[in-house]
Homo-oligomer: A and B are copies of this chain.
């Protein structure tokens, strides 16, 4: 199968935009990226790229997809009250069927907003994995381990390990797996040590929550004399590749530790704002050499799985936090939002760049809307002005998932109807 995307603008690795290129996809990889008119046929399919910008697609590096079930449900509360009063009681009632359908719902929203890969941690993960297999995205999936007592350690680890073994490399390699102790405050040190050991053995990354609230940091310091980052380092948790969601309250020393261990921090600005956790020190982390990516967190707190929103918000909040309009440039916000920084998800530099030989993931974004005119600087417009509906086409691993707004792998009407029906139980 050879596909030509004809005459499209292409966003390069540094955010620079080259107009009028022909991009050829063969199988699941880009075969060539050449000036318009130079691509060698024949082609099985031609996609018109004029007036479009081809970008590598967004990566949502931290979410809980099936929490679409919680969208608009919970009150806006501080994190611990939000979890204890609004989330955990409802999660006790969750079924595998809920997770299947609300994962599919989230996948529809992600495709529509140009997300091509994501990292997800939740329960009934085989349901999410099957939904990903069907939808066609890439995902790093993990079962969320909660082990505050010794008796929970073995059963939780077994569950997490079984899922990780079974699904790693599935769906033509589009699914990777991780181990996910939920957070320092929900898992005993012994769990952390064992989980890290298992991750090393299975060659898997760890995906967890770190330093989301000031309260979490203060408690950890009071109990152990260490910050959550120091505590995790002390347990050897960072000896395997780690995705650390949030990192809102990290010290200069924490930043150095995260950088030294090449931890990937996942900034989740909407969720951190809505629960009033704070603004993560993204500029400081970047300066210290930490790899920072973006996530929506679950749609229960963010309200949305649209990573373009997080990209815009990350640029705006980064400037506010530093009191410097040049703190987070559109180029940096874009790099945080895309696969370029998302090596930790499991595909290294095979993804994130539109170049011959790389895996063919990408999105075509329309530039015609009034809100994108005059178009002096397509990247700036993409960060500050573009809206979800500008994402017209999405492909992953060489396969079209959305073509000019038409979903090709998922039945949106059936999924939304089913989710409305299932949600009746939770009203």
Enumerate chain A interface residues (CB-CB to B < 8 A): 68-69, 71-73, 75-78, 82, 105, 108-109, 112-113, 270, 273-276, 278-279, 299, 302-306, 309, 312-313, 315-317, 319-320, 322-327, 329-330, 368-371, 373-378, 380-381, 383-385, 387-389, 412, 415-416, 419-420, 422-423, 426-427
Q: Which residues of B contact A387 (CB under 8 A)?
A: 306, 387-389
CB–CB B313/A105 < 8 A: no
Mostly, the A contact residues are: helix
Give chain B residues whose Cβ lies under 8 Å from the Cβ of A381.
Answer: 71-72, 303
B contact residues around A270 at 8 Å (CB):
316
Residues of the B chain whose Cβ atoms lie less than 8 Å from the Cβ of A302: 384
With A76-B319, A274-B316, A370-B109 as given contacts, are A71 and B385 in contact (CB-CB < 8 Å)?
yes
Provide the residues of chain B in CB contact with A112, threshold 8 Å: 369-371
Cα separation A71 to B382 with both chains bound (whole Å): 11
Once the chains bind, are B274 and A371 in contact (CB under 8 Å)? no
A14 to B406, CA, bound (A): 37
In the complex, are the beta carbons of B76 and A371 less than 8 A apart?
A: no
Q: Is the CB of B273 within 8 A of A371?
A: no
Q: CB distance A384 to B313 under 8 Å?
A: no
Partner of A371, one of B304, B373, B375: B304
Q: How many copies does the complex hold?
A: 2
A373 pairs with B275, CB closer than 8 A: no
Docked-complex contact B389 and A322, CB < 8 angstroms: no
Could you jot down 21 A-B contacts, CB within 8 Å? A71-B373, A72-B376, A72-B380, A72-B381, A73-B376, A76-B319, A109-B369, A112-B369, A270-B316, A273-B317, A273-B320, A275-B325, A276-B327, A306-B371, A313-B316, A373-B419, A374-B423, A376-B423, A376-B426, A387-B389, A388-B388
Note all chain B residues with C-beta closer than 8 A to A415.
370
Across the interface, do A373 and B105 meet the contact criterion of CB distance under 8 Å? yes
- Assess the B384–A325 pair: CB atoms within 8 A: no
Q: From A368, which residue of chain B is reached at the shortest CB distance?
A: B416
Query: Please, which residue of chain B has its CB at the minimum distance from the CB of A427?
Result: B376
Within the assembled complex, what's the spacing in Å between the Cα atoms of A59 and B410? Answer: 37
Q: Which residues of B contact A423 (CB under 8 A)?
A: 373-376
Q: Is the beta-carbon distance between A384 and B274 smaller than 8 angstroms?
A: yes
A77 vs B325: C-alpha distance when bound (angstroms): 5
Query: When chains A and B are docked, how far (Å) is the Cα of A105 from the Cα of B412?
Result: 33
- With most chain B CB atoms within 10 A of its CB, the pick from A68, A108, A325, A427 is A325
Partner among B274, B306, B369, B383 whose Cβ is within 8 Å of the Cβ of A319:
B274
12 further A-B pairs in the complex, CB-CB below 8 A; given A109-B369, A273-B317: A68-B373, A71-B373, A71-B381, A72-B376, A72-B384, A270-B316, A305-B371, A306-B387, A313-B316, A317-B320, A375-B420, A388-B388
Which partner residue on chain B sits nearest A308 by CB separation? B387
Please report the C-alpha to C-alpha distance between residue A304 and residue B382 in the assembled complex, in whole angstroms: 11
A326 to chain B, nearest CB (A): 6
Could you tell me the distance in whole angstroms from the C-beta of A314 to the nearest C-beta in chain B? 11
- Whether A373 lies near B327 (C-beta < 8 A) is no
The answer to whether B329 touches A278 (Cβ under 8 A) is no
B370–A108 contact, CB under 8 A? yes
Q: Which residue of B lies closest to A405 (CB)?
A: B389
Chain B nearest Cβ from A372, distance in angstroms: 8
Between A77, A278, A313, the greatest number of chain B beta carbons within 10 A of the residue's beta carbon is seen for A313
Residues of B within 8 A of A73 (CB): 374, 376-377
